[in-house]
Structure 1
């Protein structure tokens, strides 16, 4: 690795100029003395051009294909890889072989072989890599770990973790959107909840998961649930039917744009979201298709049950039908007390002591940085950790390196195997499973 960089700023190329790539690049806008974006690769001219203009990137450093950038002599310190899930492995391998430090959007890859190849290549090239399990970097997640590790609640017996996906968010991403067909993207458990499996593994550090089971179902978003008289597109649906549908694209997208809000999710539908452009997208594109008349096949609700060494258990619930979006609810039960936390914009960790009967609260309010407020500020914390690690040549501040993230991904793959084969999957010490 390079020598400690002191106060000099890092340089980075963004591979994938969509929402996630733009969010991570925002760090360079906020802290130009720490990071400078010097290149961008994206097949979509509009999004590539937006990032180029925003950071005044030279024409020679703008690419329609990431491979063009990887074939050049090393042109920056880092690369930020935010391509679609199934297009992670190849750019990671190519840029690691060139000696780039890497920030990799989760999931690291969609199958075990690709994940292991990423780990192997990064180890061989001795490069710093951070996988964007951004929740690990939040104050609330780290405070929970600190309290657990302190022995405050004795020995951990069970962790109960709920991921509230959000009813409209799930319909947007996993019924109409890029993650609605597993073969073209990944399972909803991997795409939505590899964060959560990773957190459980993080809090259970020092204990190995020995067995895992999972159950799931594609509930409601199917042809059997389609209301009588509903059309195949929301824009064509009779008013008396559409008005009673909480998943109507008119409600989700047109109501938002009418309020002057051009951010997510309408920004996904059109390059320049307006009433006209969004209406056209709903009439012709995938986001205007009836949620009951689509070809989606991923689970809309799922539970994962884990047994750890020593007998501790954990349960993860992915719920697609919730009011809140992305809000985690965590309860940790120990032999001497319990901890609970709802990870919203102002999370508070509550402790109850079995011996004294007393309760105490720990504040864990995150720093909310403009343009990087995703996941309760986690995007900022993850990026800040990565930049600091590379600048100081110190990997210890990265808690989601490739080896650590591989362990979490293997648990997700094992859970999916258990669900599909309707059995308990046993895990070996080396991470392999039967």
Structure 2
């Protein structure tokens, strides 16, 4: 049976979810832009490199546990689609318990995590020293950051995207204000960036808990220990989260590969790559709005066992994601050089970043497919396919990098990264027909 046309109603559904998510997400890389711009105008390039390396470590640490957001959204959306409000409530409880435990483990293991990360990434002694200072401060935000992931995933499943906007906006405004105060006002340098991040994470969590308490009261019912600790539900959550964990680890390893290989080429190349990865970050957080919309709408369609709704949700999500990808490429053509000048005043870094700008212009058009398909598969909790596809994509990226970097240098590194993005979309597109067949 054919999918219904992309009507104004479907456009409205996508934008009710994607609009607030885009607005909230876009503030996240803007904070990274401010961090980079603040240290980018210090006299030495190793300051930018230290923030890039420190942020990369936390991308690994926190986003490796991104299943707390993605898994919670898919599971809770399917429960909501099936009308099981008690399972919606229990899904949140399981995710919050897991977030608290993982956050405490991260704090306890902070020294070995830091030592391994600095060994794996490399970089100059100056970069490693400042990145270590950054890490040992920001690690104390781990419980709040992971619990916030679980809350945001749950809010999205309930189609409360405006709540995530309010939560993220409050946190990022606190981060921005404290960043400027601690770094520019008080001269704390890289350590000031880390302290601002810790305070902001706990502020965002506090606001999210207050809103969740009100929503739970409106929902009615109580938390029941037997339901929360139900063996079958726990087993499903563990399997889903395991696959998403492996998927996310592979994704972050691809970004880590770019940073580590750039570090081996010197501080100027590392800094220029960090500047261009901010372009990728801004674009990704915006396109993720449509991926999140697809995740929620697909999750509810799977809960309802309705293949026509599934196909309509996927088509509408892809339409708007593609429109935004084109707009981002055009924006990088027009404003890319100005953004590079904003991010750094070091001429050697600027010159290297200008040469890399064509990669940033092409990236939205090749990346959009993988981002949106991610949302589709996570909403359907088809995490085995997501895991297997990402393993293959990472292997292609590393193989291409090792082949091309000796001949093309940094251009070879970016060629391998673009291949990774193309492969993300292609592999998931090949798997996609399985979802509709199984639902039928």
TM-score after normalising by structure 1: 0.26
Higher strand share: 1
Task: Flag the structure with more relative contact order, 1 or 2, with Cα contacts below 8 A and sequence separation at least 6.
Answer: 2
TM-score after normalising by structure 2: 0.25
Largest Rg, 1 or 2: 1
